[in-house]
Amino acid sequence: MMSGGGYSALDDPKASGSVPVSTHQSLAHRPSLLAPHLSRLAQAATGPDPQTIKFTESNLQTFPPSEAKGKISGAYRPPTDSDDTFSSKVGGGGGGRGSDGGSDDAAQGGWFRMFSVAAYKPYFDVDTSDVVERIWESVFPFRGNFTEKTSDKPDLYGPFWTCTTLIFVAASIATFVTYLSHKWHKKEWTYDINLVTWSAGLFYGYVTFVPLGLYVILKYFSAPAGLVQLWCLYGYSLFIFIPASLLSIVPIEIFRWVIAGVAGFMSATFVAVNLRAHILNSGERWFLIVAGIFLLQLGLAVLLKLYFFTITV
C-alpha cells in the first residue's frame, strides 16, 4: 500500500475500496488504464466510421448532353432564302435559329420574317475589315468577284452607312456650293432644308426598291438571287458617289459633269458585271436585264448632278 497527500491506495487497483491518490497522479502514472475508455468514448461521440458513397458514371448527367449535336445551336445563324427573302448562302444554307426564337420563326414563315428585327441582326454582325475590303472592291468595278466574296456572309451594315453618309455629304456639299455661288454673285442666300429630305428619299428609296424590283424580275425569269445580297451589292455601289460629291465643289460645270459621268459609269459597271454571270441563267433576255441595270445606275448619277450640283443664281 502507498500513502501520500492524505489519501491512501492499494497496490492492487482491483481491490475494493481503493481510491486513487489523485486524478493527476493517476493519469500521469497509469495512462494505460484510461486508454480503452477514451477510445470507446471517442467512438460513441463520432459514431461508426463514415462510409464512402460512390456514384457510377451512368448515374451522372452531363449538361449539355454530348449526344445532342447539331440540333439546337446557341449561336444564331441567319435564315436562308433560296426561295424566300434572304440570301441563298448565308449561314451555310442551314437556316438554323436560336432556341428562343424557334417557335416564333416557325409561326412567321416566308415573307413575314422580313418585318422582324431579329431576322436582320446577323447582317449587321460584320467586322470593320470586311466593310473596308468590300468598299475597296466597289472602287474596282471590273473584277466582278464581289458577289462571290459576299455570298457566304452578305451584310447590311456597310450599305446602310454608305447610303447614310452619301445622303449627308451630297446635301451638305450642295448647300456649300450654292452658298459660294450666291456669295460670288453677291446675292442673298437662304438654306434649303429640302436638300436633306430629297437626298434621303432618293438614296434610301433607290437602294431599297431597285434591288427589290430586280429580285422579283430575276425570280420571274427563273434566276432567283438573294434579296439581302442584292441590297448589299447596291449599297456598296453607291460609295463611289461620295468622293464624286466632294469633287463637285470645284466651280467648273464641265468638270462636274465629267465627275458625275465617271462615277455613274463605275457604279453601273460594278453592279452589272457582278450580276452578269448570274443573269446569264435567265435565258436570251439576260442582255436586256443587264442593260437595264446599267442604264438605271447611270440615271442615278445624272439625277444626282442635276438636282444637287446644278447651281442657278
pLDDT score of 11: 52
Residue of higher predicted confidence among 223 and 305: 305
Q: What is the mean pLDDT of the chain?
A: 74
pLDDT at 279 over 80: yes
pLDDT at 70 over 70: no
Residue of higher predicted confidence among 239 and 14: 239
For 95-111, the pLDDT digits (tens) are 343 444 444 444 445 66
Residue 285's pLDDT band (boundaries 50, 70, 90)?
A: confident
b/e 165-203 (16+ beta carbons within 10 angstroms → b)? bbbebbbebbbebbeeeeeeeeeeeeeeeebbebbbebb
pLDDT score of 117: 78
b/e 12-41 (16+ beta carbons within 10 angstroms → b)? eeeeeeeeebeeeeeeeeeeeeeeeeeeee
Q: What is the mean pLDDT of residues 113-117?
A: 73
Give the lowest-confidence range in 17-21, 196-200, 202-206: 17-21
Q: What is the mean pLDDT of residues 266-295?
A: 87
pLDDT at 57 over 50: no
pTM over 0.85: no
b/e 209-244 (16+ beta carbons within 10 angstroms → b)? ebbeebbebbeeeebbbbbbbbbbbbbbbbbbbbeb
Burial class (CB in 10 A: 0-12, 13-18, 19+), 105: middle
Q: One-letter amino acid identity for 33? A: L
